[in-house]
Amino acid sequence: MTSAAASPLPAPDAPPTAWIGHTLDGRYHLRDLLGEGGMGAVFTAEHLNLRKLVAVKMIHAEYTGNAEIAERFRREAMATAQIEHPNVASAIDFGPLPGGGAYLVTQLVRGSSLTDIINRGRMRWQAVCDIGAQIADALTAAHAAGIVHRDLKPDNILLEPREDGEVVKVLDFGIARVADQAQGTTPLTRLGTVMGTPGYMAPEQAMGEPTDHRTDLYALGVILWECLAGRALWDGGEMSDLLTRQLTQPPPPLAGEVVDLPVEFERIIQQLLAREAKQRPQTAREVRDALRALSRSVSPVPVTTLPPPSPTPTLPPPAAAPKNRGLTGFIAVFVGAALLIVVLWAVRQPGAEEPSPPPEAGERPAEFVPAAGKGGAGDDKSPGAGPSGPVPSASKPDLGELPAGLREPAATLLGEAKEGQFKAAEAVLAYEPEVDVPLWLHGLALLEKAESCEAKRAAVKRIAEANDRRGLPALQRLSKTSRKGCGVFKNKDCLECLRTTLKQSIDQLAALP
């Protein structure tokens, strides 16, 4: 890294890939190109002093000579640094580049984009409600700081796996323009009449009219609709065609596609998608509070599927009391005992799970432990269970490249013995510097500590993203988990929410050389 830091930086017109391997301001060593679009490129970088991975965004070479864009980028960097919120990728540093450009250092978010998740199919409305509330909370903080996103879309929203589920991170706040100019600054000239992404721009934004924070609320409505439908709302054709549909056609109703969607949720989305800004909710806070209230008041029977009330039937006259109360009582006791015997017989049939002993202190419940061989033969053949062959455990995985402090917990997590895995996971997640923990090992630790099915699904996706075969045995053991063991009668699949993701991840890693 010393030679990289001392080598001259690329020319202003060099492609983004030419920056990989160089160090900015003696602190940020650029490692990989994450993406390129709009006015800039984004890199993964290592903060050399803190040994921490960060994201570095730079203006494209062709814009470095434009003083207006450079000033806009500087102002946006300063404004983004003022947003302190758990659902916003926070700004860390800002500095100039040779040739008049600039770079912005932000928190590095590890997770899948909402675009990738939508492309896999429609999501459950409960999950969409939670995601929407987190996005609205981020918008509340941004709007309070005077920042309007103006390019809110699934590409700019990442879901980061955590022990208790997935946390939304909103990216790229204010890269296009500032909502209100700060006092004492010179207003910036408009670069064009339209800025944003077709399909997510509010009608007033697409027509080049003045915009405000309600523009972001329209984009949020589009995002929620697409999460529930699993497809684009305004898709196909030129921008003019998209705008024509937005102005002349109402959004397709979701009730017919999402059978259990609460009417309150669809009403919120329809209000967000109103063509006139004054007809939408007026603040992100209102939207956040409404979505949170909806999440807290989930009814077992969705509102949209409730049957119409029926007239109260006329009660028949009370029947005469039986003459032989003793015989009636005997028959009732006999029938109840017979039913109890039938239920017990059904539970004890082959394939039914024995009650699990209570978990030891510090360990997860046994029904969630990815132990090998726990499921029956029928479980292996059911959809989403993964390969039906034995879990490979022949060769010891190579851990030589890991730091000494990670080798022992890594070996424990890769082993088949349950004992000590929880503490090993805690050791991996607490290891510093974080940059030395490989992605596959971080995913294994999250999987071991996860308790809910959603948290396990997020960890499985993290392991698959690492694209390292060392994560395969753990996923295959997880796929062997019995499909019974949850619910009142212990007959429900504890991992129902992740079976499809698990099978896809296993197939992906198994195909690696």
Angle subtended at Cα 216 by Cα 63 and Cα 115, rounded to the nearest 5 degrees = 75
Q: Tell me the angle at which helices 421-429 and 439-449 cross, rounded to the nearest 10 degrees.
A: 130
In whole angstroms, what is the distance from residue 322 CA to residue 363 CA? 57
Active site residues: 151
Strand, coil or helix: 1: coil
Which residues is 33 bridged to in the sheet? 43
Buried b (16+ CB within 10 A) or exposed e, 348-386: eeeeebeeeeeeeeebbebbbbbbeebbbeebeeeebbb
Question: Cα Rg for the chain, rounded, in angstroms?
Answer: 28
In the annotated binding site for ATP, the residues are: 57
In whole angstroms, what is the distance from residue 219 CA to residue 197 CA? 10
In the annotated binding site, the residues are: 57
The CB-based long-range contact list for 141-145 (8 Å cut-off, 24+ gap) reads 141/83, 141/84, 141/85, 141/87, 141/88, 142/83, 142/85, 142/88, 142/170, 142/173, 142/174, 142/216, 143/179, 143/213, 143/216, 143/283, 143/284, 145/79, 145/82, 145/83
